[in-house]
Amino acid sequence: MLKKIGNNPISKNLARILSEPSLADNLELIEKETGLSKMTVRHWISGHRKPQLANLQKIADLFHFDIYILFDNPTEEELLPEQKEIMEMIARIRKKDVLEAIRTIARMGLLDKMDKGE
């Protein structure tokens, strides 16, 4: 039997997010779309294993949420300096991509078309 690592906010928040509407369905989707096994994700949720940041990002991307919500008051043990740096880089990239998408939409006149119901 695996030993529980401790009360960690990543596990708690991941469980909360993936339980809606159905944990079983979401685990199936994660396995199908990312290749992460259901058992692996269950270990993260139960707190028996800690996920790598890249794997958390796969889940965040799949379910369209910001990875930051998984780190509710993280301790230094839960969020290493290298992880902070990576998360800051991801945030900058996302902001840049969003701004570029907005510029492209505006350039193409798609906002006007959406307003007119086209």
Whether residue 96 is found in the same domain as residue 49:
no
What's residue 110's pLDDT?
64
In angstroms, the CA 103 to CA 61 distance is: 22
Q: Among 71, 81, 62, 79, which Cα is nearest to 18's? A: 62
**In the 8-state DSSP scheme, what is residue 47?**
T
Q: How far apart are CA 110 and CA 16, in angstroms?
A: 36
More confident position, 102 or 112: 102
Residues 52 and 97 in one domain: no
Overall average pLDDT of the 57-65 stretch: 91
Provide the pLDDT confidence category of residue 25 given band limits of 50, 70 and 90.
very high
Residues 23 and 68 in one domain: yes
Please name the amino acid found at residue 48.
H
* CATH number, domain containing residue 62: 1.10.260.40
Q: In a 3-state reduction of DSSP, which class is residue 28? A: helix
Same domain, 50 and 99: no
Does residue 8 share a domain with residue 61? yes
Q: Integer distance in angstroms from the first to the last C-alpha of the chain? A: 58
Average pLDDT over residues 21-32: 92
Going by pLDDT thresholds of 50, 70 and 90, the confidence category of residue 112 is low
Q: Encode pLDDT of 63-95 as tens digits.
A: 888 888 887 655 555 566 766 776 677 667 766
What is the domain count for the chain?
2
Range of the domain at 9: 1-72
56/31 same-domain check: yes
8 with 63, same domain: the answer is yes
**Domain identity same for 4 and 45:** yes
| Phi and psi, residue 23, nearest 5° | -60, -45
pLDDT in tens, 27-49: 999 999 999 999 999 999 998 89
Confidence bin at 55 (pLDDT 50/70/90): very high
- Is the link from the previous residue into 81 a cis peptide, with omega within 30 of 0? no
pLDDT-above-90 percentage for the chain: 30
